[in-house]
Amino acid sequence: MVFFSEKFWRKLIMRKSYRVKKESEFQRVFETHNSVANRKFIIYTMEKPGQKHFRVGISVGKKIGNAVHRNWVKRRIRQTLLEVKPQLKADCDFLVIARPAADQMSMVETKKHLMHALKLAQLLDEKQSEE
Query: Has residue 54 got a pLDDT over 90?
Result: no
The CATH number linked to 95 is 3.30.230.10
Q: What is the pLDDT of residue 9?
A: 46
Residues 6+ apart with CB under 8 A from 45: 29, 32, 34, 35, 36, 92, 93, 94, 121, 123
Q: CA dist 91 to 23, 34, 50, 68, 124, Å?
A: 20, 15, 6, 32, 11
Query: Has residue 11 got a pLDDT over 60?
Result: no
Domain holding 118, by residue range, is: 15-125
Q: What is the pLDDT of residue 117?
A: 93
Task: List, in sequence order, every residue forming a beta bridge with 95; answer none if it has no partner.
Answer: 44, 57
As for how many domains the chain has, the answer is: 1
Interval 64-100: pLDDT, tens: 889 999 999 998 998 998 888 888 888 888 999 999 9
Residue 96 is assigned to a structural domain of this protein: yes
Residue 98 is assigned to a structural domain of this protein: yes
Interval 36-49: pLDDT, tens: 999 999 999 888 88
DSSP string, 23-35: HHHHHHHHTT--E
Q: What is the pLDDT of residue 101?
A: 87
Residue 3 is assigned to a structural domain of this protein: no
Quick check: helix, strand or coil at residue 90?
A: coil
Residue 119 is assigned to a structural domain of this protein: yes
- State how far the Cα of 106 lies from the Cα of 114, in Å rounded to an integer: 12
Query: Considering all CA atoms of the chain, what is the largest pairwise distance in Å, rounded to the nearest integer?
Result: 50
